[in-house]
């Protein structure tokens, strides 16, 4: 490509990022949903403002701001924050979801021990000793500290065998 | 004389060994939270609320307040030693604080910061003592329309100052208000936005939302960083020279004035106070040419200002029930969970608790100096804990914190969901502060709006017919419309992660 051809090209207009457009669409849709739902809740009653009045106002703000944001983006696309580390997000969110799903079934001690071992040994690549000690302190240690020290009951396993051995 | 007697009674309650332990633990935890770069004061305070639910209200709030102002100092340690602020309010301290470390004066910088924090915090607390009665009595004259208008001003200020775009700040504020409306409507008793789920009839747990949006999203947005080597300053190097003391005194005085003044204004965060204090040093300091190269004024001013701000920001909360910053909004959530409503009635209905908390602020500020200066080596050792262990332990506390609010796994799922929402908001550069403020103020705001309209039988002009509310609504509208007048905002406000 020659210098001339570069100079004669019309400047390319920057476009809004896809994630920004998706965000605007999501907030716009939420605003529209709230507007419709709040009308159903009742904006005004014989006693005065109904339960839908305040949400209706918020729906208006959300919808109006989404439109304004879209106009701003079309005119001058904004930058977005740094992208997150996809692997980290997936690992943390999936492990947390599994932990939450297993808390009542396996009990706090066992599920938290597995959760911590995953983050320390597999993801963090810590040594076996360091991982085991930290995971035990964070699961069994935290369970006893909270249950007996702070009087805050953490869940125990709903599986009888595990429950019998104190998990 | 009444005020003095009540303050003395407050000291008697705050000096019981249980409350002293709570204040000590709060300062300790607050410092740790401030030191840890991964977790800010908002998430830190929210995370520890569940631990205090079983405690008596006085001890619980004493501990949470100590955590709150403890974080203001903890953040300084990493700013000075690592050039990485532990929390936003200490960001400006990195400039001269870290330069002092490179010159071998880290100890002096940390001591000056601790003393400045003590001076700023103590003077601001004296301001709270002086203002409590008169403002509280004034607050009792405030009816629902004025209260609504006052909250409009608070939210407008935060929206106007948060982030680069007011449109995004308004979206954040509206989102917080919508989340606060999930559950049973406070007047008619109708379920709203519960999607038929019984668990949502009591609303979405405030703590789970805050921990998710501020804490989990922070962890999810981590990027691989460089490894750091931290050297704690020796005990001998902790004492500043006579010249450093002399140079710091005027900066501390200016920092106190700026921090105190800004603490009274809703929407002004500690970061704004420290930033403006640094600006004042650049203008008024005799050694302004040395700023940026390791001048002690660059540490003394901002550090004094952010602690004066932290304590002064409690004045609008205690006297009017208005949280001035996101962290104070979380504290207000803790008050409400303990059955205490901050505001003028706090001094009439729970006078002994209110004064015990105020007295504990003096004690906590002193404890912070005693804790922070000699133990600086201990705090820096926290930074040597490997990142995977720190992350895993922070996640552990988040899960425990979310679970123990209602002893329900549902709240852990709520936290995870809001963590992802927080990550999306950060990516879209939508400020988080308006959301947390409206989340707390939403129910109060809605109640006062509906009460006002019931009084006026649906006539919206009630807000304009009453002089105080008319002026306040006018101020709120002016603030929201300020971008049309092209008022400039300080750049650092836009970069404040807390907002």
Contacts of B5 (CB under 8 A, 6+ apart): none
Report CA torsion sign: B451, B456, B460, B461. Answer: negative
Do B395 and A119 make contact, defined as CB atoms within 8 angstroms? yes
> What confidence score (pLDDT) does residue A112 get?
96
Taking each helix axis as running N to C, give the angle between helix B106-140 and helix B93-102, from 0 to 180 degrees, rounded to the nearest 10.
160
**Looking at chain B, which residue has its C-alpha nearest residue A121?**
B388
Taking the C-alpha atoms of residue B211 and residue B414, their distance in angstroms, rounded to an integer, is 10
Which residue in the block uniquely carries the two structure tokens 């704690």? B232
> What confidence score (pLDDT) does residue B224 get?
59
Taking each helix axis as running N to C, give the angle between helix B433-455 and helix A53-75, from 0 to 180 degrees, rounded to the nearest 10.
140
> What confidence score (pLDDT) does residue A29 get?
96
Which residue would you say has higher pLDDT here, A94 or B292? A94
Average pLDDT over residues B66-76: 81
Q: Nearest CA of chain B to the CA of A167: how many Å?
A: 16
Taking the C-alpha atoms of residue A58 and residue A34, their distance in angstroms, rounded to an integer, is 8
Which residue would you say has higher pLDDT here, B294 or A81? B294
Which residue would you say has higher pLDDT here, B235 or B384? B384
Residue pLDDT, tens place only, B404-422: 888 899 999 999 999 999 9
Helices (H), B162-296: 166-180, 206-210, 217-220, 242-263, 270-284
Facing residues of A44 across strands?
A49
pLDDT at residue B231 tops 80 = no
Task: Name the strand (E) or helix (H) holding B191.
Answer: strand B191-192
> What confidence score (pLDDT) does residue B225 get?
53
Interface test with B, best of A31, A58, A155 (most B CBs within 10 A): A58
**B241 Cβ under 8 Å from any chain A Cβ:** no
> What confidence score (pLDDT) does residue B492 get?
43
Tokens coding A152: 């805050």
- Among the partner-chain residues A49, A72, A142, the one whose CB lies closest to the CB of B400 is A142
> What confidence score (pLDDT) does residue B484 get?
61
**Looking at chain B, which residue has its C-alpha nearest residue A47?**
B454
Residue pLDDT, tens place only, B418-460: 999 999 999 999 988 788 888 888 888 888 888 888 888 888 8
Residue pLDDT, tens place only, B20-34: 999 999 999 888 888
Q: Nearest CA of chain B to the CA of A6: how many Å?
A: 33
pLDDT at residue B232 tops 70 = no
Q: Nearest CA of chain B to the CA of A56: how many Å?
A: 10
Residue pLDDT, tens place only, B456-485: 888 888 999 888 889 988 988 888 777 666
Taking the C-alpha atoms of residue B260 and residue B225, their distance in angstroms, rounded to an integer, is 36
Average model confidence (pLDDT) across chain B: 83
> What confidence score (pLDDT) does residue B252 get?
95
pLDDT at residue B11 tops 50 = yes
> How high is the ipTM of this complex?
0.90
**Looking at chain B, which residue has its C-alpha nearest residue A36?**
B193
Which residue would you say has higher pLDDT here, B298 or B92? B298
Residue pLDDT, tens place only, B96-117: 888 888 888 888 888 898 899 8
Interface test with A, best of B21, B395, B438 (most A CBs within 10 A): B395
pLDDT at residue B87 tops 80 = no
| A27 neighbourhood in chain B, CB within 8 Å | 171, 175
Average pLDDT over residues B59-83: 83
Interface test with A, best of B21, B165, B203, B399 (most A CBs within 10 A): B399
pLDDT at residue B281 tops 50 = yes
Residue pLDDT, tens place only, B290-312: 888 889 999 999 999 988 988 88
Average pLDDT over residues B31-55: 79
> What confidence score (pLDDT) does residue B349 get?
83
Do A124 and B453 make contact, defined as CB atoms within 8 angstroms? no
Taking the C-alpha atoms of residue B207 and residue B164, their distance in angstroms, rounded to an integer, is 27
Torsion angles phi and psi, residue B226, rounded to 5: -80, 150
For residue B235, name the pLDDT band (cuts at 50, 70, 90).
low
Which residue in the block uniquely carries the two structure tokens 């839908």? A52
> What confidence score (pLDDT) does residue A155 get?
93
Do B429 and A81 make contact, defined as CB atoms within 8 angstroms? yes
| A37 neighbourhood in chain B, CB within 8 Å | 193
Taking the C-alpha atoms of residue B274 and residue B454, their distance in angstroms, rounded to an integer, is 43
Among the listed residues B345, B304, B310, B339, the one whose alpha carbon sits nearest the alpha carbon of residue B324? B310
| B412 neighbourhood in chain A, CB within 8 Å | 96, 99-100, 103
Kindly state the percentage of chain B with pLDDT values over 70: 91
> What confidence score (pLDDT) does residue B234 get?
65
- Among the partner-chain residues B175, B190, B396, the one whose CB lies closest to the CB of A112 is B396
Taking the C-alpha atoms of residue B6 and residue B20, their distance in angstroms, rounded to an integer, is 19
Residue pLDDT, tens place only, A125-139: 999 999 999 999 999
For residue B495, name the pLDDT band (cuts at 50, 70, 90).
very low
Q: How far is CA B316 from CA B99, B154, B259, B357, B468, in A?
A: 36, 10, 14, 15, 17
> What confidence score (pLDDT) does residue B486 get?
55
Interface test with A, best of B205, B396, B443, B462 (most A CBs within 10 A): B396
Task: Name the strand (E) or helix (H) holding A94.
Answer: helix A86-117
For residue A12, name the pLDDT band (cuts at 50, 70, 90).
low
| B457 neighbourhood in chain A, CB within 8 Å | 48
Stretch 351-380 of chain B: residues touching chain A, C-beta under 8 Å:
none
Q: Give the highest mean pLDDT range of B151-155, B219-223, B314-318.
A: B314-318
């Amino acid at each position: 490509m020659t210098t001339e051809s570069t100079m004669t090209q019309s400047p390319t207009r920057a476009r809004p990022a896809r994630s920004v457009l998706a965000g605007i669409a999501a907030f716009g849709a939420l605003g529209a949903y709230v507007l419709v739902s709040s009308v159903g809740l009742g904006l005004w009653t014989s006693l005065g403002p109904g339960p839908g009045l305040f949400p209706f106002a918020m729906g208006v703000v959300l919808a109006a701001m989404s439109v304004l944001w879209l106009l701003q983006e079309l005119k001058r696309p904004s930058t977005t924050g740094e992208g997150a580390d996809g692997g980290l997000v997936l690992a943390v969110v999936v492990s947390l979801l599994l932990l939450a799903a297993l808390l009542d079934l396996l009990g706090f001690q066992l599920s938290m021990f597995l959760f911590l071992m995953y983050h320390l040994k597999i993801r963090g690549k810590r040594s076996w000793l360091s991982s085991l000690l930290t995971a035990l302190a964070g699961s069994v240690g935290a369970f006893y500290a909270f249950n007996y020290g702070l009087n805050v009951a953490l869940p125990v396993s709903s599986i009888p065998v595990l429950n019998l051995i104190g998990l | 004389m009444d005020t003095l007697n009540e303050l003395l009674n407050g000291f008697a309650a705050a000096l019981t060994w249980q409350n002293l332990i709570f204040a000590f633990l709060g300062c300790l935890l607050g410092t740790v939270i401030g030191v840890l770069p991964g977790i800010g004061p908002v998430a830190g305070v929210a995370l520890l609320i569940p631990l205090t639910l079983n405690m008596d209200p006085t001890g619980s709030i004493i501990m949470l307040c100590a955590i709150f102002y403890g974080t203001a100092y903890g953040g300084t340690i990493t700013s000075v030693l690592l050039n990485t602020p532990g929390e936003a309010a200490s960001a400006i301290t990195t400039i001269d604080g870290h330069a002092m470390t490179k010159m071998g004066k880290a100890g002096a910088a940390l001591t000056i910061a601790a003393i400045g924090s003590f001076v700023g915090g103590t003077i601001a607390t004296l301001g709270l003592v002086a203002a409590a009665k008169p403002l509280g009595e004034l607050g009792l004259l405030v009816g629902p329309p004025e209260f609504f208008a006052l909250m409009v001003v608070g939210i407008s200020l935060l929206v106007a100052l948060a982030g680069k775009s007011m449109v995004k700040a308004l979206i954040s504020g509206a989102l917080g208000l919508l989340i606060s409306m999930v559950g049973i409507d406070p007047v008619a008793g109708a379920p709203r936005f519960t999607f038929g789920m019984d668990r949502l009839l009591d609303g979405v747990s405030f703590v789970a939302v805050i921990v998710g949006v501020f804490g989990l999203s922070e962890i999810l947005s981590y990027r691989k960083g460089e490894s750091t080597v931290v050297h704690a300053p020796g005990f001998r190097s902790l004492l500043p020279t006579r010249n450093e003391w002399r140079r710091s005194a005027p900066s501390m005085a200016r920092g106190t004035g700026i921090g105190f003044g800004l603490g009274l204004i809703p929407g002004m965060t500690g970061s704004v106070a420290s930033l403006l204090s640094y600006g004042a040093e650049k203008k008024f300091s005799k050694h302004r040419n040395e700023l940026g190269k390791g001048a002690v004024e660059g540490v003394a001013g901002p550090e004094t200002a952010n602690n004066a701000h932290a304590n002064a920001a409690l004045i609008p909360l205690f006297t009017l029930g208005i949280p001035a910053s996101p962290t104070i909004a979380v504290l207000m959530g803790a008050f409400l969970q303990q059955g205490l409503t901050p505001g003028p009635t706090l001094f009439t209905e729970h006078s002994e608790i209110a004064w015990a908390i105020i007295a504990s602020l003096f004690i906590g500020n002193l404890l912070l100096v005693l804790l922070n200066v000699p133990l600086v080596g201990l705090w820096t050792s926290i930074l040597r804990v490997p990142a995977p262990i720190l992350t895993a332990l922070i996640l552990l506390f988040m899960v425990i914190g979310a679970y123990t609010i209602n002893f329900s796994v549902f709240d852990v799922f709520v936290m995870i969901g809001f963590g992802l929402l927080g990550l999306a908001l950060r990516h879209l550069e939508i400020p988080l502060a308006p959301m947390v403020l409206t989340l707390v103020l939403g129910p109060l705001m809605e109640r006062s709006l509906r009460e006002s309209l019931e009084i006026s039988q649906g006539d919206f002009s009630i807000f304009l017919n009453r002089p105080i509310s008319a002026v306040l609504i006018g101020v709120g509208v002016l603030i929201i419309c300020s971008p049309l007048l092209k008022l400039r905002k300080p750049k650092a406000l836009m970069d404040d992660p807390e907002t």
